[in-house]
Amino acid sequence: MAAEFSVEAAIDAVFEDEKCDDGAEMLKTNKAVAENCEFNQPSISRLLFGCKIDAGSVFRRESFIWLEGIYRRMAARRSIRRPYYSEIKRDIPQELFLVLVQSIERHKSQIFNPPNCYVARNKKAIVVSFTSIVSVKNFLSSLSSKDVTGYMKRTLAGYRKGHRVNVLVTDTKDFALTYYIRKGQLIISFNFGEWNAYGFPQHDCNR
């Protein structure tokens, strides 16, 4: 028995084929447009290279971390080997630290020049050494845009209740920023003194 095949069925079959062809063509077109858009979009690296980072904002936040670290470490348990010396370690990109060093070197004020401040460098490291407490306070205040005196001293509690501690900066006890180029690491090193409740120093005053 022959299968019935109406005119309507034939027309529907023709349009169905056209729909399939149109759908396939549309998919190809959409794919081409997407590929073209993706090709024309700038890459992430290009976008990053086009950005300008505000070094002042970065170091403002960094200086807060340094100050809080200094304040905490003056009350921490004393090291047997160097009881009144401490370090803060930070990972910072070399390019960013170089901007900071250049800013110090270009500053015309005497507090950022010898004998109050020295900058030395070699293949392994870059060192900024402050030998004046005034220079240190001015430097940290410039970075943080605030008075830093309260971070440089404190009164202890607990079994050392009433003891006072202060950051010490002299020719022999410098406040130093040492940047190790290969590691990409900055070490902020400083010395401090401690006086008991009666005002007698607990640290060695001769060093």
Burial state string for 15-34 with b = 16 or more CB within 10 A and e = fewer than 16: eeeeeeeeeeeeeeeeeeee
Residue pair 97/186 in contact by the 8 Å Cβ criterion: yes
Residue pair 172/161 in contact by the 8 Å Cβ criterion: no
Output the pTM of the full model: 0.76
- For 115-174, strand residue ranges (E) read 117-121, 125-130, 153-155, 164-168
Counts of helices then strands in the chain (DSSP H, E): 5, 7
Half-sphere exposure (Cβ direction) of 49: Cα atoms closer than 13 Å = 5
Q: DSSP class of residue 42?
A: P
Higher pLDDT, 141 or 39: 141
Q: What is the dihedral of CA 46, 62, 96, 135, to 10 degrees?
A: 160
What are 84-121's pLDDT values in tens digits? 999 999 999 999 999 999 999 999 899 999 999 999 99
Q: What percent of the chain has pLDDT over 70?
A: 79
Mean pLDDT, the chain, whole residue set:
85
What are 166-176's pLDDT values in tens digits? 999 999 999 99
- What are phi and psi for residue 162, nearest 5 degrees? 90, -10
